[in-house]
Amino acid sequence: MLTAPTPPAGRPRSARPRATAARLARGIALLAAATAAAGAAAVPAAADTAPAADQAGAGGGAPAALLAPTGPRTVGTTTLHLTDESRADIWHPDAAVRELMVTVWYPAARPTGHRADYMTPAESAATVESLGLDLPDDTFSEIRTHSFTDAPVRATRGGWPMVLLSPGAGNSRTTLTTLAEDLASHGYVAVGVDHAYEAGPVEFPGGRVLGCDACAQDRWPEGTRNRAADVSFVIDELTGPDAVWPGGRRVDTDRIGMAGHSAGGSAAAEVLRTDDRVGAGLNFDGPYYAPALEEGVEGPLGLIAGEPQPFGDSQEAMWPRQTGWRQWLVLTGSAHSSATDRGVLVDRLGLRDQIPAEDIANQYGTGDPEHLLRIVREYTTAFFTQHLRGSDQPVVRDPSGVHPELVVIGDEQG
């Protein structure tokens, strides 16, 4: 099944007033009303329906395709293997160093090179095997992306803002490709990070395909701190005069943000706490853990939760500990993994009839996965445009006014 294992659970910022319990109660009441009407509201508008050429895959001879980016810029991409020799791996006793696989998506000068693979052939075969469905081994390596391998980086005065992306436990960075390509098409460097033994299946050099050892261990508070260290290391490696990626000189290090799904969302909050270079964070339905949960963060920190809310207790506990810009949304009709590519791919690969309806609802919700992902994608790009570029964005300022499916639980924008 295309489902994600659920984990067991810079710059000066001014303080903002805290939301009252009554305000949170009103938000929760509004969510309940919206949930009751979700069946009628789940049908997307015609404008949210992708062209046939963009869908492909389901019932046709062409490979399935991801949603096309909405921005004007061509997208380039490259893959890097990074090794932090200063840290041993906490998940695997035989790993003396911490390894990461990283994909960078960026505004490209021109569409040279070939279309990037969604996965490597080895990752695709391992994914097919893990799903237990009757699919060709190359199903996922053949998915059509919208970025070009090693295309030259487009120059810009002042550099491009950078957004780090961290996937959920047991997922890989590929599951956030739709969000990454859209960010890059709007002038961001998007960096997807696969944390060794927390993602899977992921191919590392030497043909090693690693799985999620961490998924069998109840150590997510420690794992969250470990991910935060990973992200800070990636920023070190990709920026500055000694950057391992030649395009690093095109990054504006004064404008860095982070978004993450599930365990990646947990890490986004911890990175805001520990790394002043990161100026804004966005959490896609992740829990919060100490020390961020105890010490709080200055933000800006946004949360898009699914329904139901398995991590609602920690999310509610975190709210009063956010002292900067903060926003807590629930996306009506969505579920834990609606921010990922996988719900859309279930339909574009024609797999809905092969997966139990309960599993689809638990991971991708009761709404249309494509419609929900389009909303998440629009909000994500707007969130970083507002916080890293200083440009007011209507969907961030008034989420439910733009998309009624975005129910506001808490909102302190100052």
Query: Does the pLDDT at position 274 exceed 70?
Result: yes
3-class SS of residue 170? coil
CB 174 within 8 A of CB 194: no
Q: Band of the pLDDT at 57, cuts 50, 70, 90? A: low
DSSP letters spanning 298-321: -S-EEEEE-SS-TTHHHHHHHGGG
pLDDT in tens, 20-49: 333 333 333 333 333 333 333 332 333 333
pLDDT value at position 258?
98
- Per-residue pLDDT reduced to its tens digit, 220-256: 999 999 999 999 999 999 998 899 999 999 999 999 9
Please determine, looking at this structure, whether the domain spanning 21-412 carries the CATH number 3.40.50.12780.
Answer: no
Q: Is the pLDDT of residue 12 over 70?
A: no
pLDDT of residue 23: 38
For residue 309, CA distances in Å to 18, 135, 177, 336, 375 come to: 22, 32, 24, 8, 18
CA distances to 24, 50, 120, 164, 382 from 159, rounded to whole Å, are 39, 32, 30, 16, 19
The set of residues, in sequence order, having a beta carbon less than 8 Å from that of 143 and lying 6+ positions away, is: 57, 63, 64, 65, 66, 118, 119, 345
pLDDT tens-digit readout, 103-140: 999 999 999 989 999 999 999 999 999 988 889 999 99
Question: What is the reported pLDDT for 61?
Answer: 57
- Write down the domain spans for the chain: 21-412
Where residue 55 falls among pLDDT bands split at 50, 70, 90?
low
